[in-house]
A and B are shown apart, each in its own frame.
Chain A
Amino acid sequence: MATSSVSKGCFVFKPNLKKRKISVPVENYFSKGKNESEDSKLRFETYQLMWQQMQSETERLQEELNKNLFDSLIEFLQKSHYGFQKNSRDWGYQIKLREIPTAALVLGVNVTDHDLTFRSLTEVLQHSVTPYVVSLQAKDCPDMKHFLQKLASQLVDCNVDVQSKEKESVQVTQKRIHYSMDSLSTWYMNVTQKTNPKMPRKKRTSSQWQSPPVVLILKDMESFATKVLQDFIIISSQHLHEFPLILIFGIATSPVVIHRLLPHAVSSLLCIELFQSLSCKEHLTTVLDKLLLTTQFPFKLSEKVLQILTNIFLYHDFSIQNFIKGLQLSLLEHYYSQPLSVLCCNLPEAKRRINFLSDNQCENIRRLSSFRRYVENQASEKQVALLTNERFLKEETQSLLENLHVYHTHYFLILRCLHQFTSSLPKYPLGRQIRELYCTCLEKNIWDSDEYASALQLLRMLAKDELMTMLQKCFKVFKSSSEKQLGNTEKRIEEFLAQFQSLDEAKEEEDTPESQSKGLQKTDLYHLQKSLLEMKELRRASKRQTKFEVLREQVVSFIDSLVREYLLPPETQPLHEVLYFSAAHTLRQHLNAAPRIALHTALNNPYYYLKNEALRSEEGCIPNVAPDICIAYKLHLECSRLINLVDWSEAFATVVTAAEKVDANSVTSEERNEIIHARFIRAVSELELLGFIKPTKQKTDHVARLTWGGC
Chain B
Amino acid sequence: MMSKLELKEDKMLEVQFVGDDDVLNHILDREGGAKIKKERAQLLVNTKKIVKKPEYDLEEDDQEVLKDQNYVEVLGHDVQESLKNGSTTDGGNKVYSFQNRKHPEKMAKLGHSASDKVQLKNNDKSEFLSTAPCGLRKRSIVPRSHSDSESEYSASNSEDDERVAQEYEEDANEVTLGQKIQAQNRVVSAPVCKETPSKKMKRDKTSDLVEEYFEAHSSSKVLTSDRTLQKLKRAKLDQQTLRNLLSKVSPSFSAELKQLNQQYEQLFHKWMLQLHLGFNIVLYGLGSKRDLLERFRTTMLQDCIHVVINGFFPGISVKSILNSITEEVLDHMGTFRSVLDQLEWIINKFKEDSSLELFLLIHNLDSQMLRGDKSQQIIGQLSSLRNIYLIASIDHLNAPLMWDHAKQSLYNWLWYETTTYSHYTEETSYENSLLVKQSGSLPLSSLTHVLRSLTPNARGIFRLLIKYQLDNQDNPSYIGLSFQDFYQQCREAFLVNSDLTLRAQLTEFRDHKLIRTKKGTDGVEYLLIPVDNGTLTDFLEMEEEEF
* Contacts from A to B (Cβ < 8 Å): 3-15, 19-20, 22-24, 26, 29-30, 32-33, 110-112, 139, 317, 319, 321-322, 325, 328-329, 332, 336, 589-593, 595-596, 598-599, 602-603, 606, 609-612, 615, 617-618, 620-625, 627, 629, 631, 634-635, 638-655, 658, 667, 673-675, 677-679, 681-682, 684-686, 688-693, 695, 698-703, 706-711
> Known interface pairs A8-B315, A30-B273, A703-B434. Does A642 touch B98 (Cβ–Cβ under 8 Å)?
no
Contact of B201 with A by CB under 8 A: no
Which residues, 67 to 111 on B, are CB-close (under 8 Å) to A?
Answer: 94-100, 102, 104-108, 110-111
Which residues, 405 to 425 on B, are CB-close (under 8 Å) to A?
Answer: 405-406, 408-409, 412, 414-417, 419, 421, 423-424
Interface contact A11-B433, CB-CB below 8 Å: no
Q: How far is the CA of A708 from the CA of B97 in the complex (A)?
A: 10
Contact of B274 with A by CB under 8 A: yes
> Known interface pairs A317-B405, A639-B107. Does A681 touch B436 (Cβ–Cβ under 8 Å)?
yes
B273 surroundings in chain A (CB, below 8 A):
26, 29-30, 33, 332, 336
B405 surroundings in chain A (CB, below 8 A):
110-112, 317, 319
Q: A8-B315, A624-B114, A627-B252 are in contact. List 14 more A-B contacts (CB 8 A).
A: A6-B446, A26-B277, A590-B415, A598-B285, A621-B120, A623-B118, A624-B118, A641-B217, A642-B224, A644-B224, A677-B234, A678-B246, A685-B436, A699-B224
A602 surroundings in chain B (CB, below 8 A):
285-287, 419, 421
Which residues, 315 to 370 on B, are CB-close (under 8 Å) to A?
Answer: 315-316, 320-321, 323-325, 328-329, 357
- B529 vs chain A, min Cβ distance (A): 19
Interface contact A10-B417, CB-CB below 8 Å: no
A677 surroundings in chain B (CB, below 8 A):
234, 237, 245
Interface contact B242-A681, CB-CB below 8 Å: yes
A642 surroundings in chain B (CB, below 8 A):
222, 224
A624 surroundings in chain B (CB, below 8 A):
114, 116-118
A692 surroundings in chain B (CB, below 8 A):
397
Interface contact B224-A673, CB-CB below 8 Å: no
> Can you show 11 pairs from A to B with CB atoms below 8 A apart?
A3-B294, A15-B304, A19-B302, A617-B117, A627-B253, A641-B217, A645-B434, A678-B249, A684-B435, A688-B434, A691-B399
Q: How far is the CA of A10 from the CA of B307 in the complex (A)?
A: 7
Partner of B96, one of A12, A650, A653, A710: A710
Interface contact A329-B269, CB-CB below 8 Å: no
Contact of B119 with A by CB under 8 A: yes
Interface contact A691-B396, CB-CB below 8 Å: yes
> Known interface pairs A319-B409, A690-B396. Does A631 touch B118 (Cβ–Cβ under 8 Å)?
yes
B434 surroundings in chain A (CB, below 8 A):
645, 681, 684-685, 688, 693, 695, 703
Interface contact A709-B227, CB-CB below 8 Å: no
Q: How far is the CA of A256 from the CA of B376 in the complex (A)?
A: 31
> Known interface pairs A29-B276, A682-B242, A702-B224. Does A655 touch B305 (Cβ–Cβ under 8 Å)?
no
Q: How far is the CA of A710 from the CA of B100 in the complex (A)?
A: 12
Interface contact A635-B120, CB-CB below 8 Å: yes
A645 surroundings in chain B (CB, below 8 A):
229, 434-435
Nearest opposing residue in chain A for B267, CB measure: A33
Contact of B470 with A by CB under 8 A: no
Q: How far is the CA of A590 from the CA of B301 in the complex (A)?
A: 23
Interface contact B419-A711, CB-CB below 8 Å: no
CB-defined interface of B222-248 with A at 8 Å, one 1/0 digit per residue? 111111111110100100011001101
Interface contact A10-B225, CB-CB below 8 Å: no
Interface contact A321-B229, CB-CB below 8 Å: no
Contact of B495 with A by CB under 8 A: no
Interface contact A595-B209, CB-CB below 8 Å: no
Interface contact A10-B435, CB-CB below 8 Å: no
Q: How far is the CA of A5 from the CA of B116 in the complex (A)?
A: 42
Contact of B51 with A by CB under 8 A: no
Contact of B138 with A by CB under 8 A: no
A638 surroundings in chain B (CB, below 8 A):
99, 106-107, 110, 120-121
Partner of B414, one of A7, A329, A650, A693: A329
Contact of B398 with A by CB under 8 A: yes
B396 surroundings in chain A (CB, below 8 A):
689-691
B414 surroundings in chain A (CB, below 8 A):
329, 590-591
Nearest opposing residue in chain B for A593, CB measure: B415
Nearest opposing residue in chain A for B234, CB measure: A677
> Known interface pairs A20-B305, A627-B252, A647-B225. Does A689 touch B424 (Cβ–Cβ under 8 Å)?
yes
Partner of B223, one of A591, A623, A640: A640
Interface contact A678-B217, CB-CB below 8 Å: no
Nearest opposing residue in chain A for B272, CB measure: A29
> Known interface pairs A602-B287, A653-B111. Does A591 touch B415 (Cβ–Cβ under 8 Å)?
yes
A695 surroundings in chain B (CB, below 8 A):
434, 437
Partner of B285, one of A322, A336, A599, A654: A599
B446 surroundings in chain A (CB, below 8 A):
6
B436 surroundings in chain A (CB, below 8 A):
681, 685
Contact of B168 with A by CB under 8 A: no
Nearest opposing residue in chain A for B255, CB measure: A612
Contact of B462 with A by CB under 8 A: no
Interface contact B225-A322, CB-CB below 8 Å: no
Contact of B153 with A by CB under 8 A: no
- A329 vs chain B, min Cβ distance (A): 7
Interface contact A6-B442, CB-CB below 8 Å: yes
Interface contact B119-A621, CB-CB below 8 Å: yes
Nearest opposing residue in chain B for A678, CB measure: B245
- A240 vs chain B, min Cβ distance (A): 31
Interface contact B416-A590, CB-CB below 8 Å: yes
Contact of B306 with A by CB under 8 A: yes
Nearest 7 A/B pairs, CB to CB: A654-B111, A685-B433, A9-B313, A593-B415, A33-B269, A602-B286, A9-B316
> Known interface pairs A139-B377, A612-B253, A708-B209. Does A640 touch B100 (Cβ–Cβ under 8 Å)?
yes
- B238 vs chain A, min Cβ distance (A): 11
A689 surroundings in chain B (CB, below 8 A):
312, 395-396, 424, 427-428, 433
Q: How far is the CA of A700 from the CA of B277 in the complex (A)?
A: 52
Interface contact B421-A606, CB-CB below 8 Å: yes
B227 surroundings in chain A (CB, below 8 A):
644, 646-647, 701
Most chain-A Cβ atoms within 10 A of its Cβ — which of B105, B227, B286?
B286
Contact of B521 with A by CB under 8 A: no
Contact of B177 with A by CB under 8 A: no
Partner of B99, one of A610, A623, A640: A640
Interface contact B308-A10, CB-CB below 8 Å: yes
B230 surroundings in chain A (CB, below 8 A):
701
Q: How far is the CA of A19 from the CA of B302 in the complex (A)?
A: 9
Nearest opposing residue in chain B for A624, CB measure: B118
Q: How far is the CA of A700 from the CA of B434 in the complex (A)?
A: 12
Interface contact A332-B424, CB-CB below 8 Å: no
Partner of B406, one of A111, A618, A682: A111
- A663 vs chain B, min Cβ distance (A): 9
Interface contact A678-B302, CB-CB below 8 Å: no
> Known interface pairs A10-B321, A319-B409, A685-B424. Does A654 touch B112 (Cβ–Cβ under 8 Å)?
yes
A603 surroundings in chain B (CB, below 8 A):
286
Contact of B526 with A by CB under 8 A: no
Contact of B150 with A by CB under 8 A: no
Interface contact A641-B216, CB-CB below 8 Å: yes
A640 surroundings in chain B (CB, below 8 A):
98-100, 102, 216, 223
Interface contact B224-A643, CB-CB below 8 Å: yes
B213 surroundings in chain A (CB, below 8 A):
708
Partner of B107, one of A319, A648, A699: A648
B477 surroundings in chain A (CB, below 8 A):
none
Nearest opposing residue in chain A for B242, CB measure: A678
Q: How far is the CA of A53 from the CA of B421 in the complex (A)?
A: 43
Contact of B122 with A by CB under 8 A: yes
- B257 vs chain A, min Cβ distance (A): 7
- A606 vs chain B, min Cβ distance (A): 7
Partner of A9, one of B212, B225, B226, B309: B309
Which residues, 121 to 137 on B, are CB-close (under 8 Å) to A?
Answer: 121-122
Interface contact A621-B242, CB-CB below 8 Å: no
- A319 vs chain B, min Cβ distance (A): 7
Q: How far is the CA of A317 from the CA of B409 in the complex (A)?
A: 10
